[in-house]
Structure 1
Amino acid sequence: MKKQLVFLLIISILNSPLSAENMMQVYRHAQQNDAQTKASEANYRAVLEKKPQALSGLKPQINLSGSASYTTLFSTRVAHRPDDKSAFLNLGYTLNLTQPLYRKSVNIQIDQVDATISKARATLVLDQQNLIIRVADAYLAYLKAKDNLKFAKLETKAFKRQFMQVKAFFDAERSAITDVKEAQARYDLARSREVSSVQQIQLAKETLKAISGYYYKDLLGAANRIPLLSPKPNNINAWSQAAAKNSPKVQMAKYAVAVAEESVNLARANKSPTVDLFARHSTSSTYGESSFDQDKLDAVIGIQLNIPLYTGGNTASKIREARHKLQQARYLLEAEKRNAIQQTRASFLTITTGLSQLNALQQALKSNQIAARATQTGFEVGTRTAVDVLLSVRETFRAQRDYSNARYDFLLNTLKLKQATGILRIQDLQGLSNLLTKAIQ
């Protein structure tokens, strides 16, 4: 009973929401629990085992075999003599040793394995960078949903207040029934957005749980003012050149070309001779009739040369196949370079235009706030309609949402730009986490 209670307590602790955490704490949890990253790490360790397997082709191969048999012989005699029956026990073993002296294909296999390991390492780096992006994306999606809920609540409160005011004006015969209906509709829409925002928060929490293994009660958010800086260097060509050289996907494609080149060399090496040193020690003993008892010892040492002369066209076909696959790998490398450049340029332009958009949205927010106050004053004195007020309130909250969402998108895009060029590091996530230190409600 106690064990069951302890088990249930542990489960409840693991599944209970954690208190406010920062982005780096979420990332540390993800490092420990993310299934995709763990699978990538396991794959890399598995690929590392290919190296000792390849090296074994240059090392001695020793095997021992033994045998035991029991033989019964019958012989039929003539002239009324009794038949003879003999039984023999045969025991023996053979010890074989083979030491490769020259095997060109094995050396090529070792080089190919080195390229395969490098490719697997590049894949692991890509998956680790993807984890950084996935954590940042899910974390910022949560903050975005929290901000949207905050704005939705304020919007609902504002539309409710406006609805009550318009209704009072209608009762005083200062407003039309259409204004009341319009205010009611805006209020209902605001309430629906509030419900939708709550759902988005729950979805963001589920995404974080899938990555990190934990539910979070709350996360630290952004202060009202955070620095939004242009990429350094602020040169799109410099970023493009770096992406074509250092992008993880480009690196993977480069090593894939190296693997394909060694495949061509390996296919050619199948035409090369092999030279092995071999030694064999064997003994056999026979026990039975005294005249047949004997022991036999055999010891052989020598060098074996094997020259493939003709394989029915198999070797030539495999060489052609390897060449075609090499050509394919080179085309894929070129495609990855172009994709990396395109994605990097797109990310760079998204960031630079995002800065301009943020400045414009910030100014639009200020203008909408001023316009909303002026429209409200005009409504109270009778120069503006209730619909004008509702529209100005809606535009104000829309500007707030757009500015908040654009700010989070900008922060995420700065990480994506670094990922596209292969320079994304944990320190970049730490820098972003340092900007998100405000407790949010």
Structure 2
Amino acid sequence: MCGSIFAGAIEAHAESLKSALARAYRENPDLNQSRASVRVQDEEAPKALAGKRPKASIQATAGWQVGAIKIPAGRSATGQRQSVDDAFSSYPRGATLAVSQTLFDGGRTESAFRQAESNVFAARSTLRLTEQAVLQNGAAAYMNVLRDAAIRNLRKNNISVLEQQLRVTADRFGVGAVTQTDVAQAQASLAQARSQLYGAEAQLKTSVAAYRQIIGDEPRRLEPGRSVEPLLPKSQNQAIDIALAEHPGVTAALHQVDAAEQAVKTAESALSPTLSVGAQLTNQRDAVLGVPGTRQFAGAVIGQLNVPLYQGGAEYASIRQAKEQLGQVRLNADLQRDSVRASVVSSYGLLETAKASLTSWRAAEKAAETALIGVRDEAKAGARTTLDVLNAQQALLNARAAIVVTQRDLVVASYAVLGSIGRLSADTLDLDVTIYDPSLHYDQVKTQWFGVETPDGR
């Protein structure tokens, strides 16, 4: 295909399809957002592990208090009741250190962690889906620009040919070899060609905008795109087997099934007893009845066993709900398998159609070139009309435009097949990038006990 994109704006550095996809892999906002989403999901694992980690807190109090005390002091010599009265003000203050540790929670923490981990794996598969979509869309955007630029150039060349045809027809009309009708037909064809050029330029601008959105930069001098057929399995049946095992849509669904199974266990743990132990140290001043100068220090170690008997039925509803959600995600896994299988068959069909069409259109182009030469020679001898020449020229133009379109379809279809089996990735395409590894962030935060900064320092 034509590698020139903008006449008069050609740059020395040529962009290849692989370099464009490498830029998209690094800079595409959809892909970066999906990576951030995986990092968000990673934090669910340490949150789940917190259920069996110790908890500690300090509570401090301080205030001002006034009071009065009346203490009975017996009776006087005359038999009257006597008392000792006193008024005071104090500043009660104190602090309590409490530490607790869950010893048994019915397996809730373990199930919650496994559920979180399965959701992390599902998020990574979803990230792979986004990566595939970005790379496939990037390849389509690249080839669309090439296609539309080539068609724009064909339309330009066609105008030059039709202008020459109009001059020849006008000269022949001047000597009486043709009629005014022939001139009008040549003029009409030229006007239509100019209109088609305007449409081609508008379509090219649209494709350039889509390229900029996906790749992240304006297209400059694009090299011809190449099919990735050498990376595809040898047969469609082999591709289906690979897709059912490796496609990120399938693996994401299976990880969601694992997460739903753990969610059932987490819900069932609400019916299990829990056992915990706690320690508490308390130091208070002026706190005993608010009397100034008093001081209290206490320490305690307490074990607590909680056996749920009936909590209103909410836990039973949660268990039933979790089981229904498990059934739902299992059905979704079956749906994903069927969808992937259909996608492989469909994409292979498009690829084979594009290959066959390209062969046919190349034969049509060769025949149209021969026909045009013959029609022009016959027109000079008076055996053909101007309209015959214009029709032959249009047939050749249509064949060349169809070749351009089919070349684009062939490359895009090959990327679609690679994506349908789940192997469209920066690693498979051997892009010049540092491969993003989502497990690095997960390993950094999974067992982290303290800290508010993210691993990258934010």
Distance in 2 (CA, whole Å) between partners of 1:18 and 1:270 is 68
Letter in 1 for 2:322: A
Tell me what 1:102 maps to: 104
| SS, match of residue 127 in structure 2 | helix
Tell me what 2:34 maps to: 40
Tell me what 2:86 maps to: 84
Shift of 1:428: 5.1
What does 1:29-428 correspond to in 2, within 5 Å?
29-75=23-69, 84-103=86-105, 104-221=107-224, 232-286=232-286, 293-426=293-426
| SS, match of residue 303 in structure 2 | strand
| SS, match of residue 286 in structure 2 | strand
Q: Cα deviation per residue 1:305-353 (whole Å; 9 max; x = unaligned)?
A: 1111101111111111111111111111111111111111000111122
| SS, match of residue 270 in structure 1 | helix
| SS, match of residue 222 in structure 2 | coil
| SS, match of residue 183 in structure 1 | helix
Identical residues among aligned pairs (%): 23
Shift of 1:369: 0.7
Distance 1:312 1:207, change over 3 A: same
Shift of 1:188: 1.1
Distance in 2 (CA, whole Å) between partners of 1:344 and 1:254 is 19
Contact 2:227 2:414 in 1 (8 A): no
Distance in 1 (CA, whole Å) between partners of 2:113 and 2:330 is 21
TM-score by length of 2: 0.84
Q: How many residues align?
A: 413
Distance in 1 (CA, whole Å) between partners of 2:189 and 2:372 is 15
Shift of 1:73: 1.3
Which of 248-257 and 84-93 deviates more?
84-93
| SS, match of residue 206 in structure 2 | helix
Runs (5+) with no aligned partner, structure 1: 1-16, 433-441
Shift of 1:232: 4.3
Shift of 1:208: 2.2
Distance 1:228 1:316, change over 3 A: closer
Distance 1:408 1:427, change over 3 A: farther
Distance 1:289 1:350, change over 3 A: closer
Contact 2:65 2:290 in 1 (8 A): no
Which of 83-92 and 372-381 deviates more?
83-92
Contact 2:21 2:215 in 1 (8 A): yes
Letter in 2 for 1:66: A
Distance in 1 (CA, whole Å) between partners of 2:201 and 2:260 is 52
Distance in 2 (CA, whole Å) between partners of 1:349 and 1:289 is 88
| SS, match of residue 92 in structure 2 | strand
Contact 2:119 2:255 in 1 (8 A): yes
Q: Cα deviation per residue 1:254-299 (whole Å; 9 max; x = unaligned)?
A: 1121121111111111111111121111122228999863322211
Distance 1:427 1:87, change over 3 A: closer
Contact 2:173 2:183 in 1 (8 A): yes
Distance in 1 (CA, whole Å) between partners of 2:34 and 2:22 is 17
Distance in 1 (CA, whole Å) between partners of 2:270 and 2:82 is 66
Distance 1:402 1:281, change over 3 A: same
Contact 1:159 1:183 in 2 (8 A): yes
Contact 1:230 1:352 in 2 (8 A): no
Which of 106-115 and 274-283 deviates more?
274-283
| SS, match of residue 58 in structure 2 | strand
Distance 1:349 1:18, change over 3 A: same
Shift of 1:172: 2.2
Distance in 2 (CA, whole Å) between partners of 1:50 and 1:405 is 48
Shift of 1:429: 4.3
Q: Cα deviation per residue 1:190-247 (whole Å; 9 max; x = unaligned)?
A: 112222222222222222222233223332235xxx7895874342222122222222
Distance 1:315 1:182, change over 3 A: same
24, 28, 38: which one pairs with 2:22? 28
Judging by fraction of residues, say which structure has more helix: 1
Shift of 1:79: 8.6
Shift of 1:68: 1.9
Distance 1:229 1:65, change over 3 A: closer
Runs (5+) with no aligned partner, structure 2: 1-10, 72-79, 433-458
